[in-house]
Amino acid sequence: MFEGKYGTYWITDDILFVVYKAGLAVTLKVAKEIVSDRLEVQKNVEYPVFCDITGIVSSNSEARYFLSQEGTLLIKALAIYATEPVSIRLTEFYLKTLSHKIPTKLFVNKNQSISFLKPYSK
C-alpha cells in the first residue's frame, strides 16, 4: 500500500485500487502528482484501475483533460466508483465531454466496477 498526498494506492488480484482523500480539489498540479504516484506504484506494469473518487469535490478542465489523455498511461481499463451525487455528476460530465483512450465507465456499485475490470486483469 502506498499513501500519497492525495490518495491511497494498492494492488489486489491484478487490479490497482486508488482511493482519493476527502475534500480533494483536482487542479492540473494535483492531477500530475496523482499520476506520478500511480506510476510509482505500478512500476512500469499496466493494470486495470479501480478509482474511488468519492473524496473529490471539484476538478478543473485542465486537470480533467490531462487525466483523460496523458493520465491514462499504463491503464488497461478504468472503473470510476462514486457514491456522492456531486461526484457522480462530475464524472458523467467528464465522460460525456472528453474522449477516452481506454475503456472507462462510472459505477455506483463497487462489485460491478470490479467485475468490469476483471477481464482486463492478467
Parent domain of 69: 2-120
Compute the distance between CA of residue 64 and CA of residue 87 in angstroms, rounded to an integer.
13
Residue 41 has pLDDT above 90, yes or no: yes
Give the CATH number for residue 13: 3.30.750.24
What is the per-residue burial (b if ≥16 Cβ within 10 Å, else e) of 83-92?
Answer: eeeebbebbe
Digit-coded pLDDT (tens) for 68-111? 888 999 999 999 999 988 788 878 888 888 777 899 999 999 99
Domain count, the chain: 1
Tell me the sheet residues that pair with 54.
Answer: none
Q: pTM (2 decimals)? A: 0.93
